[in-house]
Amino acid sequence: MFGTDGIRGIPYKSPLTSYEIKKIGFSISQIIKNKELNIESVFIARDTRKSCDFIVKNLKIGLNKGNIGIIDLGVLPTAAISIFIEKYKYHFGIMVTASHNAHKYNGIKIFNYHGEKISDKDQKKIETFYKSLGIEKYNSNNKMNVTYKNAQYEYINLILEKFKNNINSKLKIGIDLANGASHKITKLILDKVNVDASIISNSPNGKNINLKSGVENTLKLKQLVKRKKLDLGVAIDGDADRVVFLDFRGDIIKGDQIMQFFAKKILKRNLPLVTTIMTNNKIEDNLKSKKIRIIQTDVGDRNVYFEMLKNGSNFGGENSGHYIFKDFLKTSDANFTMLKLLSLVKSRIDINKISNIKLNPSCLKSFEIKRKKPIEKIEFIRKYKKKFHNKYKDYYLNIRYSGTESKIRILIQGPSMKIIKNEIKLFGMLLVQNKL
């Protein structure tokens, strides 16, 4: 049921049919009750997908059956759930979103009463209870549910409260809001800190979230940056937890470069940088002079956060655009990350220095697949990996399924981009031949 970041699928189809969503809501209520914390309600927020109302409606019915009400925060970034839980205590939280995915997808992210994304253990409990359910009858109890009308403005104030740095930025910036959860909020935040920005993709219609926009589609933002001769581009995804930066040329600044920059500026003495197995292996060499060690974990900002907790680190992230500043937030937030960068860079030259950080040649490629068999049991992939490792001693190879889509991803890092591209092309041909 659960992938890298919650439950995800196509609304009206399994696992997001009306009945299944009610079951999910009821299962969440039982996990909450098992905590014995006297929790009576959960915070719920959503992005701008048309299907969000359908999912919220059915989650509400399922939660109500388990005597849990909802506090509906409306359209908000994912991190708002965590922030509201932290402020008001003794609540769980649910974010209805499919993040960077197209509008036809949707999903459910769940937060515990600490404001953290729930653990693997709690995910398993929810799934186990869900599977144990027979044919249940569900009825809504609207007396248990309320709408929180000023949530957007409260989120803005809470973010700025956490953000203590001064911004004296004279940078000219462009922002792509992906027609998503932060389509109003980012502009209001920037107005409060006196930063002027050119903004695009801020008119959601229920179907255009992430459409030719956002972190996975930066062409429009690149054109804006070049046309207006801006210093910095900022692309935010559908639920505003990921952010991608562009330099004055409109070229993407790699997430690993951003991560290294923040690590040098923010990490406290003798604490590690926590990142994932997808991180460029050159970062470790680059940070040796600062005596910063690297700890890698599985893909997913949730995994990064729990590894940070385990190792006492105050900063970590993923090169996909998740950055976690643990002294302030328990999950990633695009608006906070943007403010943090704007407080640390003063000129186009500073941004250029980040984009010039040396990394090893690297390429990540995703391929559509029909089914997900355990990778370790797929013979042609096993043979490919063995042959690759025997042939290329100085290269890094990672093959994994997407946790949110029907895709397989291959990452190769090493001295020669030509070799990397040839190997990825070969892998793609093997996928076709073996009809995965």
Looking at the DSSP bridge assignments, the partners of residue 427 are none
**Site of tokens 């693997």:** 120
pTM: 0.92
pLDDT of residue 17: 97
Contact of 404 with 4, CB cutoff 8 Å: yes
Residue 272, number of CB atoms within 10 A of its CB: 20
Split into its structural domains, the chain has a count of 3
pLDDT of residue 5: 87
**Integer Cα distance of 262 and 343 in angstroms:** 11
pLDDT of residue 37: 82
Which element (helix H / strand E) includes 367?
strand 362-368
pLDDT of residue 173: 96
pLDDT of residue 372: 87
* Same domain (yes/no): 379, 284: no
Range of the domain at 316: 154-355
* Same domain (yes/no): 55, 201: no
pLDDT of residue 397: 94
| Lateral strand order in the sheet of 2-3 | 2-3, 6-9, 106-111, 92-96, 41-46, 69-75, 146-147
Q: How confident is the model at residue 436 (pLDDT cuts 50, 70, 90)?
A: confident
* Same domain (yes/no): 320, 389: no
Per-residue pLDDT averaged across 184-212, rounded? Answer: 96
pLDDT 10s digits, 269-312: 889 999 999 999 899 989 988 899 999 999 999 999 999 999 99
* Same domain (yes/no): 239, 164: yes
pLDDT 10s digits, 65-84: 999 999 999 999 999 999 99
Please say if the pLDDT value at position 169 is more than 80: no
Per-residue pLDDT averaged across 166-180, rounded? Answer: 91
CA distances for 365 relative to 5, 27, 377, 397, 400, angstroms: 20, 36, 21, 12, 11
pLDDT of residue 35: 79
* Same domain (yes/no): 206, 344: yes
**Domain end marker among 149, 169, 191:** 149
Residue in 27, 29, 41, 99 annotated catalytic: 99
Contact of 163 with 340, CB cutoff 8 Å: yes
**Domain end marker among 297, 326, 355:** 355
**Integer Cα distance of 31 and 194 in angstroms:** 44
Is 51 known to be catalytic?
no
Contact of 385 with 399, CB cutoff 8 Å: yes
pLDDT 10s digits, 16-54: 999 999 999 999 999 998 877 889 999 999 999 999 999
pLDDT of residue 416: 94
**Domain end marker among 149, 164, 188:** 149
pLDDT 10s digits, 213-250: 999 999 999 999 999 999 999 999 999 999 999 999 99
pLDDT of residue 99: 95
* Same domain (yes/no): 341, 386: no
**Integer Cα distance of 101 and 211 in angstroms:** 9
pLDDT of residue 39: 92
Higher pLDDT, residue 386 or 405? 386
**Integer Cα distance of 262 and 9 in angstroms:** 34
pLDDT of residue 81: 98
pLDDT 10s digits, 316-353: 999 999 999 999 999 999 999 999 999 999 999 999 99
Mean pLDDT of the residues in the chain: 94
pLDDT 10s digits, 188-199: 999 999 998 999
* Same domain (yes/no): 38, 179: no
* Same domain (yes/no): 78, 59: yes
In terms of DSSP bridges, do strands 197-200 and 92-96 run parallel, antiparallel, or are they unpaired? Answer: unpaired
Provide the token pair at 391: 């042939």
Highest mean pLDDT among 175-184, 279-288, 400-409: 175-184
**Integer Cα distance of 161 and 156 in angstroms:** 8
Q: How confident is the model at residue 134 (pLDDT cuts 50, 70, 90)?
A: confident
Per-residue pLDDT averaged across 253-270, rounded? Answer: 95
CATH of the domain at 384: 3.30.310
* Same domain (yes/no): 143, 168: no
HSE, side-chain direction, 13 A CA sphere, residue 256: 23
CATH of the domain at 351: 3.40.120.10
pLDDT of residue 290: 87
* Same domain (yes/no): 172, 302: yes
* Same domain (yes/no): 204, 238: yes
* Same domain (yes/no): 346, 372: no
pLDDT of residue 38: 86
Q: How confident is the model at residue 103 (pLDDT cuts 50, 70, 90)?
A: very high
pLDDT of residue 227: 98
**Integer Cα distance of 42 and 52 in angstroms:** 16
Respond yes or no on whether the N-terminal peptide bond of residue 15 is cis (omega within 30° of 0). yes
| DSSP for residue 267 | P
